[in-house]
Homo-oligomer: A and B are copies of this chain.
Amino acid sequence: MTRAILKCNYSCIMTSNTQTPGGSRPGGRTARNTAAVLQATLDELGEHGYHGLTVERVATRSGVHKATVYRRWGGVDGLVSAALEWSTAHAWEPTRTGDLYTDLLRLAETVARGFADAPESDLSTASIAAAISSATVAEALRAFMADRHARAAVVVEEAAARGEVPEDTDAHEVVRVAVAPVYYRLFVSREPVTAADLRRAARTAADAAARGLLTTDHRTG
């Protein structure tokens, strides 16, 4: 889901320096440091995962002094939060094929692929791990996922417009039903995620929506 973000290079982060200190002096050096540190954070996550993410290594890699990193971001959790908040600004759009099932399948595939390729070496994985022990990261993750959910909801709304699903279908719930089993297998039950599993998850969500099981007033079932 955030896979493409890791491919992002130096200049990519340069453009979104929302992490400037007080805001009183967003000068060139500060922005440069922010870019270098966040990029180093992503690189370190890609190489050693969240478990091996160290302020000292990030500082050395970025060329920014260790004390500065501690002052600006507070620690490892702050680094993950900042990287995650930045990625929220990164535009993302779901693929729209004109068929709800296919759209949901693409969504599930995106999730699975992002984690399957490099387990524990992804920003998303790091965020989930860090959010468990850090309220700051938890809030950043919540905001990130809310953004993704809002964007993904489009595929359901279009399906409703086409008449595939009832008008009062809960778009967010459809997305949840489609992707939740994937995350569940990855992080909770620790079962392998096959292509058939992804198809089943998407099929269940699409069929349930089509039959009116996921409408907004169905909530009090």
Q: Is the CB of A141 within 8 A of B190?
A: yes
Report B-chain residues with C-beta under 8 Å of the C-beta of A185: 176
**What are 21 A-B interface contacts by the 8 Å CB criterion?**
A50-B133, A128-B132, A131-B190, A138-B190, A141-B188, A142-B190, A142-B191, A145-B190, A149-B189, A173-B200, A176-B181, A180-B180, A180-B183, A180-B184, A180-B188, A184-B184, A187-B187, A196-B219, A203-B221, A207-B213, A207-B221
Docked Cα-Cα span, A120 to B207, in Å, equals 35
Docked Cα-Cα span, A145 to B138, in Å, equals 24
Report B-chain residues with C-beta under 8 Å of the C-beta of A49: 133
- A211 located at the interface, meaning its Cβ lies under 8 Å from any Cβ of chain B in the complex: yes
- A160 located at the interface, meaning its Cβ lies under 8 Å from any Cβ of chain B in the complex: no
* Contact residue among B133, B138, B146, B184 (Cβ-Cβ distance under 8 Å from A183): B184
Q: Is the CB of A187 within 8 A of B133?
A: no
- A214 located at the interface, meaning its Cβ lies under 8 Å from any Cβ of chain B in the complex: yes
* Contact residue among B129, B145, B183, B219 (Cβ-Cβ distance under 8 Å from A129): B129
* Contact residue among B131, B139, B180, B219 (Cβ-Cβ distance under 8 Å from A200): B219
Chain B residue nearest to A170 (CB atoms) is B200
